[in-house]
Structure 1
């Protein structure tokens, strides 16, 4: 028997599990759920264990886990653990063959085309960027495209890998149609993200990674999780009108191109990415790409493109010149003294430092609910929370 501490109302079915407050008094007494911190190794272990339950081989599970955790580690929570359920749905519905191995279908000294065989996007992406790095180290520049792939996470996961080998990396991918081209009412292109990263010496680097829409759908999903309104200009409703309701935006799946009043530039960039990924690879492209997570389920057949440049094959001193440029930008007088100047990649490194200092990644209550769903559904042990 449970009594409400406020009015002594006796009815367990109508009592909140929080401090035994009845439904009448629960609203005013319920505290906002707190987020929890999970260490990077614990998150990685949890993701791998979930994938093992679906019979995903360890080598492939570890690559996918590494890509998701890296996103969260950098503060890109829309593309980390937040995406795990989507991958699991694809695997359960046999839209994706998680144990497939990508294969080279054609190549030359500085180019290659890869068939992903409908495998995990992260596995295919790592396979492709490694080929591009190997070829670029020999020839100076190389490009690899992939067909038959799936969602591969954040582009910078691959471009930063190129930087770790002393190279400049570029990555492009097409995605499910979400962008409404300038002047239209319906979506035609995906968010079609792109990234470039380059080494700047003394452990410095620049990492640019952005969608060709105003924001990614994942970021809007995070606003919905937090029950916050989105800024005007991010998305449209089903009638093609601007909306600030994240739930409406997610349901309508109509994002605005990058550029605001100059959104034709975002539309142009989306087409550029399509050329360097879907079209060059002969994968599904534009409005023909399936909508991720919606029925009828079918393979995505996404296309990716990777370009790697070996600066050592050009004029010497590239890293020093880039380092000088980045430092110049950082030292510029900021318009707002409270907001020091940053270059692309600085914010992510600051977030990683914070994660290291607090001993893990801070996940929202929505993330924690998702973890609990996966624990119950797959029969895995939940990750340990930092006390």
Structure 2
């Protein structure tokens, strides 16, 4: 079985690889430049240390932002850098403290982020959950007093790399309309699950409980292109295709969009995340979380991290995980599509494109965005791949 799965995975990669070179050639006319991963990492560190972040805090953030863009989640990579810079620069996020362990049992813990950068808090919390799962079979850790922590998948994958199932959740600023409501009071509240399979393969789900992440709407606005149906609503709660209307007085729709198309399910999932994070962890929740892009009060976000040792349950987890993914990938695709993917495959494909290009390709507006940051901070800009 393992050899069959391995050949199936290799075939998936090879089939995709046949188109990588052509795609990379076409990217030259679509992007403003390609930035090597190490160059992006150093640029983020320069930015954050210039405004006062500790080196190790800046390194954690840089690692996360590079991972986001490398995996194709551009809404949560370089696109978010100015937010982290402003939060530290204004002092609304502190850089002179460390997260602390408030209480724990053999399988659980509560961590106070003490208002430092979210990736610093999340990294400690996920590693704590991993340690507990390795000793107790399960680790469940909640956090309070934190800040925006980036892509949830960065944390769940830390557990999968250790052979564990990993889950990560966070609440966010109130941006999403509950079904039937005219006021957005819930966050995009993402969910991630990473599960290891054979031969380095894995299932990596990383999704918002809104139809789309806010960063994607921001990118559409920055590129002056409309958003798809079901992504957001205007200040009257009416669905719109104009990203500016969503960002200026409007809000996002829960996963599924309107009630007619199942948006109440996304609403329920967002509430579940809020329970795990804000309610269970004692952080701010719902409308009590500070508004997006404001810095007049601390965020006090809540996170939740779970690690599970599959060996504490039925044997053969990796084999079954590989088998299920192989079954899905082997299904006949619909007309117009070439393959059926599982969660994590699109990211692996994007990473292959980046590797072939020698770095991460960015839209011209994103390059300008980074250059403007460098100019404001009087630091060296990112160097593009020649």
Same fold (TM over 0.5): yes
Q: Write the distance in 1 (CA, Å) between the matches of 2:183 and 2:149.
A: 25
- Determine which structure has the larger helix proportion and give its number: 2
Q: Write the distance in 2 (CA, Å) between the matches of 1:97 and 1:253.
A: 30
Q: Write the distance in 2 (CA, Å) between the matches of 1:275 and 1:90.
A: 26
Q: Write the distance in 1 (CA, Å) between the matches of 2:301 and 2:147.
A: 6
Q: How many residues align?
A: 355
1:150 corresponds to 2:147: yes
Q: Write the distance in 2 (CA, Å) between the matches of 1:213 and 1:357.
A: 32
In structure 2, the residue matched to 1:96 is 93
Find the residue that maps to 2:183 and give its secondary structure. Answer: coil
Return 5+ residue gaps in structure 1 as ranges. Answer: 1-31
Q: Write the distance in 1 (CA, Å) between the matches of 2:365 and 2:96.
A: 29
Is the contact made by 1:185 and 1:240 (CA closer than 8 Å) also made in structure 2?
Answer: yes
What is the Cα-based RMSD across aligned positions, in Å?
Answer: 1.2
In structure 1, the residue matched to 2:328 is 329
Change (3 A) 1:36 1:285: same
Q: CA deviation at 1:294?
A: 2.4
1:383 corresponds to 2:382: yes
Is the contact made by 1:170 and 1:196 (CA closer than 8 Å) also made in structure 2?
Answer: yes
Task: Determine which of 73, 76, 83 is the counterpart of 1:76.
Answer: 73
Is the contact made by 1:145 and 1:277 (CA closer than 8 Å) also made in structure 2?
Answer: yes
Is the contact made by 1:118 and 1:148 (CA closer than 8 Å) also made in structure 2?
Answer: yes
Is the contact made by 2:237 and 2:250 (CA closer than 8 Å) also made in structure 1?
Answer: no
Q: Write the distance in 2 (CA, Å) between the matches of 1:96 and 1:344.
A: 33
Q: CA deviation at 1:34?
A: 4.9
Q: CA deviation at 1:337?
A: 5.1
Find the residue that maps to 1:137 and give its secondary structure. Answer: helix
Q: Write the distance in 1 (CA, Å) between the matches of 2:228 and 2:281.
A: 35
Q: Write the distance in 2 (CA, Å) between the matches of 1:120 and 1:223.
A: 26
Is the contact made by 1:236 and 1:252 (CA closer than 8 Å) also made in structure 2?
Answer: no
In structure 1, the residue matched to 2:129 is 132
Q: Write the distance in 2 (CA, Å) between the matches of 1:33 and 1:354.
A: 14
Is the contact made by 2:102 and 2:111 (CA closer than 8 Å) also made in structure 1?
Answer: yes
Q: Write the distance in 2 (CA, Å) between the matches of 1:303 and 1:229.
A: 32
1:352 corresponds to 2:351: yes
In structure 2, the residue matched to 1:117 is 114
Is the contact made by 2:171 and 2:301 (CA closer than 8 Å) also made in structure 1?
Answer: yes
Q: CA deviation at 1:54?
A: 1.4
Deviations 1:97-130 (A, max 9, x none): 1342110000000000000000000000000000
Deviations 1:264-303 (A, max 9, x none): 10110011001111100010000110013225x2110000
1:170 corresponds to 2:167: yes
Q: CA deviation at 1:259?
A: 1.7
| Mapping 1:227-246, distance limit 5 Å | 227-246=224-243
In structure 1, the residue matched to 2:4 is none
TM-score w.r.t. the length of structure 1 is: 0.90
1:57 corresponds to 2:64: no
In structure 2, the residue matched to 1:288 is 288
In structure 1, the residue matched to 2:307 is 308
Q: Write the distance in 1 (CA, Å) between the matches of 2:338 and 2:380.
A: 42
In structure 2, the residue matched to 1:366 is 365
Find the residue that maps to 1:307 and give its secondary structure. Answer: strand
Larger radius of gyration: 1
Q: Write the distance in 2 (CA, Å) between the matches of 1:294 and 1:147.
A: 19
TM-score w.r.t. the length of structure 2 is: 0.90
1:42 corresponds to 2:42: no
Is the contact made by 1:156 and 1:195 (CA closer than 8 Å) also made in structure 2?
Answer: yes
Q: Write the distance in 2 (CA, Å) between the matches of 1:34 and 1:278.
A: 39
Query: Which stretches of structure 1, 4 residues or more, deviate above 6 A after TM superposition?
Result: none
In structure 1, the residue matched to 2:26 is none
